[in-house]
Amino acid sequence: MPVTLRRHAATAKVNGKRIVTYPKGKEAILVAREIAKEHKGHTVFSRTSNINRAKYAAEALARTMGKRNKTRPAKYLGFDYAVLNEPAAMELIGKKFAGDEIAARNAWLKGDTLNGTMRPAKEVAENIIRMNLGLGLAAEAGAKSAGRKPTPMNNILLDNVTHSWVVESVVQRLTKGIPNPPKVVGLPKENTGMYIRFVKQPSGRFKVKMSYEEFFGDVTKNFAECMLPSMKKYLEM
């Protein structure tokens, strides 16, 4: 089961509110077509942050792949999970970082909780790896936690849509200590992000392969560090 972790759709400010306008919404549709083409014959299951621009990106892919049911919100993908006090965090970014979102993001990735207004990046990343990306491993292995029946689930794409900082925290955690990891410089492009694939080995266990922008590599060791023993046993170390 391939798994995505993507940034939400682009927005524009209209009357002080962020909404997905047609030109920006079209980008989500174009990316959805690319993903659907790559995963032809798959059924998509979507989990998202609880904000509209995340739901928009997920629903664009679901419609493109013929899935009409609503997307499901997921706790650990939510903006309100990573940010404990949004007004205070925004005020701090404005004062301490002069409104520079990338500088604030970089500080957060290095362990700064922005005066306690943010949950630690490592904690956010590890919970998403275990509770969201880990569903792909459970499905591949036929583990009971993947669904009602402990049987492998084939031809399914698990799409997770969240926020740029969250995507980057997961990328950083999974590539920790790996030679030539992807450099987190700007913000990831809207509607795009990382892909995880579980590659079955002769032993019956799995290797975890991750692609993100120009990076492609084996992240099995770091992935395993975030999993419970009941799931770690399915990984080829």
Digits of tens for pLDDT over the chain (237 positions)?
Answer: 899 999 999 887 777 777 787 677 889 999 999 999 999 888 899 999 998 899 999 999 999 998 665 678 899 999 899 999 999 999 999 999 999 999 999 999 999 999 999 999 999 999 999 999 999 999 888 875 544 454 456 788 999 999 999 999 999 999 999 998 888 777 888 999 999 999 999 999 999 999 999 999 999 999 999 999 999 999 998
Contacts of 41 (CB under 8 A, 6+ apart): 155
Inter-residue contact 171 to 196 (CB < 8 Å): no
What is the predicted pLDDT for the residue at 111? 97
At the topology level of CATH, where does 3-79+120-232 sit? Rossmann fold (3.40.50)
Please work out, in degrees rounded to the nearest 5, the angle formed at the alpha carbon of residue 71 by the alpha carbons of 228 and 140: 40
**Distance separating alpha carbons of residues 117 and 88, to the nearest angstrom:** 6
Nearest to 225 by CA among 118, 102, 134: 134
Domain boundaries, the chain: 3-79+120-232, 84-118
Count of residues making up the chain: 237
How crowded is residue 45: how many other Cβ atoms within 10 Å of its Cβ?
21
For residue 129, the Cα-to-chain-centroid distance in whole angstroms is: 9
pTM (predicted TM-score): 0.91
Q: Give the per-residue SS3 of the chain.
A: CCEEEEECCCCEEECCEEECCHHHHHHHHHHHHHHHHHCCCCEEEEEECCCHHHHHHHHHHHHHCCCCCCCEECHHHCHHHHECCHHHHHHHHHHHCCCCHHHHHHHHHCCCCCCCCECCHHHHHHHHHHHHHHHHHHHHHCCHHHCCCCCCCCCEEEEEEECHHHHHHHHHHHCCCCCCCCCCCCCCCCCCEEEEEEEECCCCCEEEEEEECCEEEECHHHHHHCCCHHHHCCECC
